[in-house]
Chains A and B, each alone.
Chain A
Amino acid sequence: EIVLTQSPGTLSLSPGERATLSCRASQSVSNTYLAWYQQKPGQAPRLLIFGESTDFRRATGIPDRFSGGGSGTDFTLTISRLEPEDIGVYYCQQYGRSPWTFGQGTKVEIQ
């Protein structure tokens, strides 16, 4: 199965700063089939970004400060200007090869 490794484990930034989260795959993820989810404490995950072919798209209702990038084995989620409500754990997920797998998560904190 494809193992996804996320870094850093925790990201602590101030409001307005740029956040860059990394997701590295153990094998190439075909067609950029990689998604990002946000999970706030005590809540279910929420889909933020998903990829298809070479493009990444935001899910319905997701603000444009969230963007996805990357290809092959290296992917990033960027939050251009961090807002206090962006705190939570962010997971990447690949759907290029079954079994679909998630990364272990990156926790985003506000300083």
Chain B
Amino acid sequence: EVHLVQSGAEVKKPGESLKISCKGSGYRFTSQWIGWVRQMPGKGLEWMGIIYPYDSDAKYNPSFQGQVTISADKSISTVYLQWSSLKASDTAMYFCARQRDGYLVVFDLWGQGTLVTVSS
């Protein structure tokens, strides 16, 4: 069965660093882009960026460029989203999602989400 499984919920303080993960299984992980989507409390969806696990080619939404880093380790079928210095405004649910096979940037497989809470 095909899955994306994300790491568990995190509670952090402002200024701390964080790296969350998304592990794929059941399909050829290196051949499909994986994106990250933010959902702030009670709000809609925002595309943050996307990475191609085969060569770690990453593209960012300008709104998130420089705020987060997306990386991949294809040897363990995992992509990451990381912050070097968290802010309270980073409190949100973060989803990883697989781009459908091909060139259309639609997301056909989603992780269960990782809730990040940043509070002093």
> Contact residues of A with B, CB < 8 Å?
33, 35, 37, 39, 44-47, 50, 52, 59-60, 91, 93, 95, 98-105
CB < 8 Å neighbour of B61 from A37, A50, A60, A99: A99
> With contacts A44-B95, A46-B110 known, is A95 near B45, CB below 8 A?
no
State whether B111 touches A95 (Cβ < 8 A): no
State whether B45 touches A59 (Cβ < 8 A): no
B113 within 8 A of A: yes
User: Can you report 7 residue pairs joining A to B where beta carbons are below 8 Å apart?
Assistant: A37-B107, A45-B95, A45-B97, A45-B110, A46-B110, A100-B61, A105-B44
State whether A102 touches B100 (Cβ < 8 A): no
Q: How large is the interface on B (under 10, 10 to 19, 20 to 34, 35 or more residues)?
A: 20 to 34
> With contacts A52-B104, A99-B63 known, is A91 near B44, CB below 8 A?
yes
In whole angstroms, what is the CA distance A39 to B107 when docked?
13
B54 within 8 A of A: no
> With contacts A44-B95, A95-B105 known, is A100 near B110, CB below 8 A?
no
Which residues of B lie under 8 Å from residue A102 when comparing CB positions? 44-47
In whole angstroms, what is the CA distance A102 to B39 when docked?
11
Which residues of B lie under 8 Å from residue A104 when comparing CB positions? 44
In whole angstroms, what is the CA distance A103 to B59 when docked?
21
State whether A95 touches B95 (Cβ < 8 A): no
In whole angstroms, what is the CA distance A105 to B105 when docked?
19
CB < 8 Å neighbour of B105 from A44, A59, A100: A100
In whole angstroms, what is the CA distance A52 to B47 when docked?
20
Which residues of A lie under 8 Å from residue B106 when comparing CB positions? 35, 47, 50, 93, 95
B62 within 8 A of A: yes
Identify the interface centre among A50, A99, A101: most chain B CB within 10 Å of its CB. A99
State whether A101 touches B47 (Cβ < 8 A): yes
Contact indicator per residue, chain B 34-57, by CB within 8 Å of chain A (1) or not (0): 000100000011110000000000
> With contacts A95-B104, A98-B59 known, is A44 near B47, CB below 8 A?
no
Min CB distance, A35 to chain B, in Å?
A: 4
State whether B104 touches A50 (Cβ < 8 A): yes
In whole angstroms, what is the CA distance A74 to B45 when docked?
20
